[in-house]
Structure 1
Amino acid sequence: MNTETAEIRAIAQVVADVERTQRAKDVEGFLSLFHPDALCTTAHGKVLIGRDAMAEFTRAVLPAASWDGEVTYEAVHTQFLRPDVAAVKVRQVYHSAEGDTEGAPLYVMTKQEDGAWLLNACQNTEVRGG
């Protein structure tokens, strides 16, 4: 397996961990996926700068989140900006009895000195029909 393939798999695992922690409403597990200085914008435009802001928002929202189906995340495209920086396009789908709704997150991830990939910048966008 070449290095790029291994890195793409490691990045896809982080995306899978986002899905797993969201489904489990695992606040601390979710927060551990982010760089301390992460910058994120939610699908509804809320800007969160740094892990403290992420933690405050996530602790207030994730445990009370409700969806009547399941949510899935899939890394659909990974583009390396440098060997230690990747832009990752994600397909996010909330499956429910009323029909699926979709998000289109873009994650900028960085490889840490220990080899772990963390989310550094995230922009989620709601996908609307039409």
Structure 2
Amino acid sequence: MDEAEAMYQRALQGNEKARGPEHLSTYVPALNTMWGLASLRDRQHRVEDARTWYSKALLGYESAVGSDHPKCRRLRSDLASLGTEQNKVNPTREELSMKMKASEASRVSIKEEGVKSASKRHRLFSKLRWKGG
């Protein structure tokens, strides 16, 4: 993650040097880099930094390609998901309980049908339940 962050920072510095700081906010390759940095921050659970970079990228894309562009819609979606992602990082007891019940119900229905699930999510839930229970 540290290496990726350094690469994004170098890319932004290179774009700024090549285009100038006044054009950085509408230069699509630089906006792509900002978006990537925002995604990295999101994965690192640095929500406020992610929000800042997503917002910068969104403002730039709106200026460069218009607010109805698919990339702008996707960035708005990424921004909106930041609030829900924070809940995934620190779920409440009720949310954990509901997830466990849903997992159990899913596992029971699969067993009843005689189907062996090969999904990664199912295997992960099974491992977590086995270690936790």
TM above 0.5, yes or no, is no
Between structures 1 and 2, the one with greater strand share:
1
Between structures 1 and 2, the one with greater helix share:
2
Q: In which range does the TM-score fall when normalised by the shorter chain?
A: under 0.3
Larger Rg computed on CA atoms: 2
TM normalised by structure 1 equals 0.27
More contact order relative to length (CA 8 Å, sep ≥ 6): 1
TM normalised by structure 2 equals 0.27
